[in-house]
Chains A and B, each alone.
Chain A
Amino acid sequence: MNQIPVTVLTGYLGAGKTTLLNRILTEQHGKKYAVVVNEFGEIGIDNDLVVNADEEVFEMNNGCICCTVRGDLIRILGGLMKRQGSFDGILIETTGLADPAPVAQTFFVDEEVRRRTSLDSIVTVVDARHVVQRLGDSHEALEQIAFADVVLLNKTDLVTAEELTQVEKRIRSINATAIIHHTLRCEVDLDAVLGRRAFDLERILAIEPNFLSEDDHQHDDAVKSVCLRTDRPLDGARLTEWLQSLLAKRGQDLLRTKGILSIAGQDKQFVVQAVHMLMEGNFTKSWSPKENRESRLVFIGRNIDESELRRQFDACIA
């Protein structure tokens, strides 16, 4: 059975999520989406593929304090699988005040969800005018940007070009790997939002990261990105051991970890994805002979000591 792609839509209240949802539901793009919303009626569309969710965040009984999942989503995704063939993808809207972690973790933790669906990307809609203020007073706004694979920097007509540049730098300093689109009223080619396969890291880490220049650190947000890279192959055993112990100890602070890594003696790329403590690592496609086998590892999180991480990463070089 094919895995159904799932897009998670986050964004602070008023950023424009509902506008985007309405566009996806009404525009002729030849695809049908099942949409999981948290407030019925908010989107004024009568559609039997719109499902009301209750945002039930459950702790998992696995001794990991930060491991929470969305129990309602597990149930809803299971139910939607009974309607196979009647839609092409699933869109999950989260409330403006939601921490995206339990949603993302649901796709790591539940075996049935993992088998039937694939997390395509986390899309965060950001209000260009108010985001700076939000980042000052809202922990959730920061997390939503940190978790994003795609950021829609919306309402760009309400700020000056200079302000927009500053906002973008601020977002970039929090999340170095997200793809950022500037929009008015969420007008963006839907192909830029849906079916991104952004959780398939290869593209993201290949296109991005724009490395941080010194002046990007001036805002000093609680969450930032650290990008590590090396051209020398890594020792697989040491790397795995380091990542496992790092995430076990620091997983609460490390919101997302993504990497494409070159392991000594292996022809294939080792791809790592983690949300807090939950990590998945797989050998995927082979490195091409013409390719520079560069390892790239990105951490997005709080209280990150960049030089410490770099030292530990370098210690994994074979």
Chain B
Amino acid sequence: MSFSAEQRETSLLDRIGTRRMLDAYVVGVAFLEGGVLAAALGDGRVAFVGGASADASRFVSVHDGACLSLAADLGGERVLTGGDDGLLASTDTAGETTAVANVAGRWVEPIAVSVASGLRAAAFGKTVRLFTRDDSAVGTFDHPNTVGGLAFDPKGRRLATAHYGGASLWWTKAGGQQPKRLAWSGSHLSLTWSPDGKYIVTAMQQNELHGWRVADGADMRMSGYPAKVRSMTWLPRGRYLATSGAEPVVCWPFHGKDGPMGKAPLDLGWGFAGVVTVVAAHPRHDVVAAGYEDGATILVQIDRAHPVLVKQPGEGAVTALAWSADGQHLALGTESGFVGRVRLSDWRAPT
């Protein structure tokens, strides 16, 4: 399947989108309250674009080095960023930055925010620290190796971390605990927890995923990727896990009793040469936004053959994608500093 010439010429971004060059690698994007788009950049700045006046943008120098990660902070009015300067910072749209924690010489890469429990977690190398809304440190979890990924369970009562040799499960409220270790040899680079709380999935160094059923620790291997899986996203109600790392958007079915065990994944969105680098699922519908290494971005729908072109190739690999909470807005960023956003309520899907 491929796009017709006509479709290629009329991307959503060209028709109904806005675009901006931010002149540094876009590490992550997130929508805040009031429709403001926050972007964390490879030169240490955080950019706020749009909102009340659609063309306004504000740049805040937050990290002395590169931003490594970004998440909408509790309350949705600030962004939480980790940097290679050892700083975990919370910045509001007016440009005021608070240092949540600072550990010199450590990189702060994986971060996670749990709205349900009002907690934020960040990995400083091998140590994960937990903070409340008012920046009080309420937990320290040490690991034998650097933590590559972390995620809260849906209620924020547990925290899962990925590292060399497997994953660890921690209780967020207990001190002095030994974690439950989920062992699987190899290097685990990132981690996600399913929205129903039943599964944990890690992306591994050797181009595959590993999953565990939380209840009994049953292992699941999901392999066959030509590249590392850098991005994973759950479709609504956790029915599918969509992933980057291949030319199609690979979606593993998790709605059966045994998750994806013994099942083949769905391959969506063929049509572009090159590998998918980022995926982001729509918060309400079975739609996934997928960005490619050549800069193209599409929307694909489960059970629907034809993808919709969001952005044409160019501007370097897509490195960040995010939906607004209501699913009306989609934002994307690339390695060359391009940021685009589309308001989907302005668009009618072809029927």
Residues of A within 8 A of B (CB): 1, 40, 48, 51-52, 54, 56, 58-62, 69, 71-72, 74-76, 79-84, 86, 110-112
Contact = CB atoms under 8 A, between A and B. Distances in A.
A52 B65 contact: no
Interface in B294-351: 316, 335
B132 interface: no
Interface in B151-204: 164, 185-187, 204
B145 interface: yes
Contact of B65 (A40, A48, A110, A111): A48
Given A54-B125, A61-B206, A72-B146, 19 more contacts: A1-B335, A48-B85, A52-B105, A52-B106, A54-B126, A56-B146, A58-B164, A61-B205, A62-B206, A71-B164, A71-B205, A75-B107, A80-B66, A81-B25, A82-B27, A83-B43, A84-B25, A84-B335, A86-B43
A263 B24 CA distance: 45
A25 B231 CA distance: 36
A71 B186 CA distance: 10
Chain A binding surface SS class = mixed
Nearest to A112: B228
A54 B106 CA distance: 10
24 contacts: A1-B316, A52-B106, A54-B125, A56-B145, A56-B164, A58-B187, A59-B186, A60-B206, A61-B204, A61-B206, A69-B205, A71-B145, A75-B107, A75-B146, A75-B148, A76-B107, A79-B107, A81-B25, A82-B27, A82-B67, A83-B42, A83-B65, A83-B66, A84-B42
Contact of A74 (B67, B126, B205): B205
A172 B58 CA distance: 59
Of residues B42, B68, B146, which shows the largest number of chain A Cβ atoms within 10 Å of its Cβ? B42
Contacts of A40: 105
B64 interface: yes
Interface in B97-113: 105-107, 109
B42 A60 contact: no
A214 B315 CA distance: 59
Nearest to B337: A84
Interface residues of B, number: 31
B337 to A, nearest CB: 10
Contact of B66 (A61, A82, A112): A82
Given A48-B64, A75-B146, A82 B227 contact: no
B146 A71 contact: yes
Contacts of B65: 48, 83
B25 A82 contact: yes
A56 B109 CA distance: 17
Interface of B: 25, 27, 42-43, 64-68, 84-85, 105-107, 109, 125-126, 145-146, 148, 164, 185-187, 204-206, 227-228, 316, 335
Nearest to B41: A82
B82 to A, nearest CB: 11
Nearest to A50: B105
Contacts of A83: 25, 42-43, 65-66
Contacts of B164: 56, 58, 71
Nearest to A110: B205
A79 B65 CA distance: 10
Nearest to A56: B145
A83 B27 CA distance: 10
A132 B84 CA distance: 41
A10 B143 CA distance: 28
Give 8 closest A-B pairs by Cβ, nearest first.
A82-B42, A61-B186, A82-B66, A82-B25, A83-B66, A52-B105, A40-B105, A58-B187
Contacts of A81: 25
Of residues A48, A52, A72, A82, which shows the largest number of chain B Cβ atoms within 10 Å of its Cβ? A82
B64 A58 contact: no
A142 B106 CA distance: 32
Contacts of B105: 40, 52
Contacts of B228: 111-112
A110 B126 CA distance: 22
Given A71-B164, A111-B228, A58 B148 contact: no
Nearest to B275: A111
Contacts of A84: 25, 42, 335
A58 B68 contact: no
A76 B109 CA distance: 11
A71 B187 contact: yes
B171 to A, nearest CB: 26
B218 to A, nearest CB: 19
A82 B205 contact: no
A257 B147 CA distance: 35
Contacts of B64: 48
Nearest to B125: A54
Contacts of B43: 83, 86
A31 to B, nearest CB: 19
Contacts of A111: 227-228
Nearest to A82: B42
B146 A54 contact: yes
A42 to B, nearest CB: 12
